[in-house]
Amino acid sequence: MNIIETKKLTKYYGKDRGIVDVDLSVEEGEVFGFVGPNGAGKSTTIRTLLSLIYPTSGSATIFGKDVIEHGPEIKQNIGYLPADVHYYDSMKVKSLLNYSASFYDKDCTKRMEQLVKIMDLDVNRKISDLSLGNKKKVGIVQGLLHEPKLIILDEPTSGLDPLMQQNFFNLIEEENQKGATIFFSSHILGEVQKLCDRVAIIKDGKIIKVEKVADLMRNSYTKFRIETKTDLKQEDFNGESINNFVSKKGTTTFLFKGDINVIISKVSELDLISLRIVEPDLEEIFMHYYRDEDADA
């Protein structure tokens, strides 16, 4: 059974496009990345899954149950960390966490205390006195205190310092090892690359690719970094499958997909100063999907 499954999920805000025909299936126990530029429809998808908003057409199930019909029931086992965390300003952290815990059928006290310790959170402060990063920490504790089977993260690291990010990633990995499924939405590919098993790429409201991170990284692309006396042109590698070609001040970088022997023989004809062949990061691999957005910006 898939933990999340959407079928032709579509959401229009009046005439404005939210998402169009989104088909997703997230398997039990996986860390699923959901990647796309801002405004691509990531948050719309998540809000539809949480039935904060309703789809224009199509359907979504979580734990095999319709998200609208069985909303409250499935939310017993969902933990959600929104991009911007907002709570009741006049409450203390402690009472907010207890309040949150009181909605669940089980006793969350123990896990809550553990999480407070891990995130190094001062629970006696008022919400209104917290910095953005500290609010985010409250959000993490609040989202995980009921040990959910599905954790939905929407841009989770914004506002967290690098040390806390690491704590947070460790925590997420731990939860995953305990069996939780993670749905991780982000526009920062580096963090998705670090954590995820599979990624879906969303652009202009449509899913354009779903692939295993390992496959993307290992089999598909190689990154070349070549230093020569004069700049090169993409035509120099005519006929080869080359992406993200940049040549500046004698340094040329590009992504290559195909028979490695062919490209090596072409490179060997050049008058090289240096050559490095490295594993590209996801950011570079996905760059060409985003090129339209870059042109707009």
- The residue ranges that bind other proteins (CB under 8 A) are 13, 43, 47, 50, 52-54, 71-76, 78, 80, 82, 84, 86-90, 99-100, 102-105, 142
Rank residues 42 and 75 by Cβ distance to other proteins and give the closer one. 75
Kindly give, in sequence order, each residue whose CB lies less than 8 Å from that of residue 51, ignoring residues fewer than 6 positions away.
67, 68, 71
Q: Least CB distance from residue 47 to other proteins, whole Å? A: 6
Question: Which candidate, 296, 204, 294, 209, places its Cα nearest to that of 16?
Answer: 204
CB of 24 to other proteins, least distance (A): 19
Minimum Å distance from CB 80 to other proteins? 5
Task: Work out the number of other CB atoms within 10 angstroms of the CB of residue 252.
Answer: 22
Q: Minimum distance between the CB of residue 151 and other proteins, rounded to whole angstroms? A: 12
| Nearest-angstrom CA–CA distance, 214 and 192 | 12
Check residue 79 and report its DSSP letter. E
Cβ 44 to other proteins, closest distance in Å?
10
Nearer to other proteins, 88 or 265 (CB): 88
What distance in Å separates the CA atoms of residue 140 and residue 134, rounded to the nearest whole number?
10
Toward other proteins, which CB reaches closer, 50 or 202?
A: 50
Q: Closer to other proteins at the Cβ: 90 or 238?
A: 90
Helix then strand then coil, % of the chain, to nearest 5: 35, 30, 30
Residue number, 12 or 289, with CB nearest to other proteins: 12
